[in-house]
Amino acid sequence: MGLLGLGTVGGGVARLLREHPDRIDRRAGRPIELAAVAVRDRGRPRAQELKDIRFADTAESVVNDPSIDVIIETIGGVTDARRLVLAALANGKHVATANKALLAEHGAEIFAQARRFDRAVAFEGSVGGGIPIVQALGVSLAANQIQSLAAILNGTCNYILTRMTGDGMAYAHALAEAQRLGYAEADPTLDVDGTDTVHKLAILVQLAFETSVAPGAIPTRGIDALDVADITYAGELGHAVKLLALARLSDAGLELRVGPTLVKHGTPLAEVRGPYNAVRVVGDALGDALFQGRGAGAMPTASAVVGDLIDIAAGRALATSRIRAYWPANAPPPVLAPPSQIKSRYYLRFTIADQPGVLARIAHILGDHGISIASVIQHDSGDDAPEASPVPLVIMTHLAIQAGVDSALALINRLDVVHAPSVCMRVEE
């Protein structure tokens, strides 16, 4: 096999292959040899156990090497990865990749190439780190129609939210700590704005619902604009805030979204803390199940990628690629449930003038839109506050139609007694 990239994941893969060759050969049913490694910068310092690795001149020379049967792609990004994976498949090589952006954005092209050359593309490492959720949805749970997925898919965000929750830390402070501990990249944009999560959701949707959805078609919000005050109020209302990826099938269509979401204390997803990932799956035969584990990091992701390598060597991955038509060509986009058909409870926070009658006016607008109120938190502005300071008004609704909530919020935000853009988050049970 040839390895492209020797960063966090690639380094972990190389380490696992070099430290445990007997175990891996035995479980793969044949010897696996790391024949070539391509890196961008050969001069970069490497961990001790990777010091004597021989580097190929170029990534192209690895994907063109006729002695290589399998390419492991861990370089990340889309442009080079796409070109190299397509070339590897054209050269008759199987591919294992941990690249969620590549599959979410170019899955149809990659899998068309795989089918054309009858090769396997395995991608357990692309979602959920070490959690075998790709195999579970694609193989183990194949008897089911999956009805819903709710998942925490970004360890960086979950770490930041955990710190904001437990210690009331501000977002910027929690992010800086995550970076110091190596949980967040130097440029964490794709993690915290939800892009990474929506890529992973698009992959899970392909597996679970056999439909190709463009990540851009999924309503997505990150945690980068989240105020710690909302985490505190959510806590007072008995909920944790999680960056949740949601997919739910109903008669109205497929509901898809990524965003900060209130999850009830004591439910499994609310209890997922630190850099962990978790996926809650509901299937028509299975009922509900939960998969939880380390969602990122060198070795957990390497566990998934080397698992794919073993699956390829054993011939199972090709059988799966042939039968399950992942990312079929010219697939129609999924029927998405319209906002008029999506029902949820909502958390709303308004910043309002501290004067009589405001709650009544807001409640009136909500009522006009069929939205009934389950809980309210309104504290006065305190003795120290300058007179007429705006105060927060927090409302948890009963089940309400999304379209109604959208309309009500637009009206409420136009009231002269409402000061700032309102906060609106979904509540999942």
Select 139 or 331, whichever has its Cβ closest to a copy of itself. Answer: 139
Residue 86 or residue 298: which is nearer to a copy of itself going by CB? 298
Pick the stretch among 178-186, 280-288, 362-370, 389-397 that binds a copy of itself (CB under 8 A). 280-288
Location of structure tokens 């054209």: 90
Please, what is the minimum distance in Å from the beta carbon of residue 97 to a copy of itself? 16
Q: Which of 51, 93, 100, 200 is catalytic?
A: 200
Distance in angstroms (rounded) separating the CA atoms of residues 263 and 238: 9
Q: Give the angle 322-328-330 at the CA atoms, nearest 5°.
A: 150
Nearest distance in Å: CB 155, a copy of itself: 12
| Terminal alpha carbon distance of the chain | 45
Residue type, 120: A
Nearer to a copy of itself, 132 or 339 (CB): 132
* Residue 264 in contact with a copy of itself, rule: CB under 8 A: no
- Minimum CB–partner distance for residue 378 and a copy of itself (Å): 32
Work out whether 144 is an interface residue with a copy of itself (CB under 8 A): yes
From the CA atom positions of the chain, what is the Rg in Å? 24
Distances 408 to 47, 159, 405 between C-alpha atoms, Å: 57, 33, 5
Could you tell me if residue 56 is left (phi over 0), alpha (psi between -120 and 50 degrees) or otherwise beta? beta
- Told to judge if 264 belongs to the known catalytic residues of this protein, a careful annotator would answer no
Q: Which is nearer to a copy of itself, 24 or 164 (CB)?
A: 24
Question: Which residues pair with residue 284 across a beta bridge?
Answer: none
Cβ neighbors of 148 (< 8 A, separation 6 or more) are 246, 247, 248, 249, 280, 281, 282
Enter the DSSP assignment of 280.
Answer: E
CA 174 to chain centre: 19
Please tell me whether residue 166 binds a copy of itself under the rule CB under 8 A.
no
Q: Which of residues 99-138 bind a copy of itself (CB under 8 A)?
A: 124, 130-132, 135-136
State the nearest-atom distance from the C-beta of 277 to a copy of itself, in Å: 10
Task: Give the 3-state secondary structure percentages of the chain, helix then strand then coil, rounded to 5.
Answer: 40, 25, 35
* Residue 83 found at the interface with a copy of itself (CB under 8 A): no
In the complex, minimum distance from the CB of residue 283 to a copy of itself, in angstroms, rounded to a whole number = 6
Which residues are catalytic, by number?
200
Contact residues: a copy of itself, CB under 8 A: 12, 16, 20, 23-24, 27-29, 124, 130-132, 135-136, 139-145, 266, 268, 271, 283-294, 297, 299-300, 302-304, 306-307, 309-311, 314-316, 319-320, 322-324
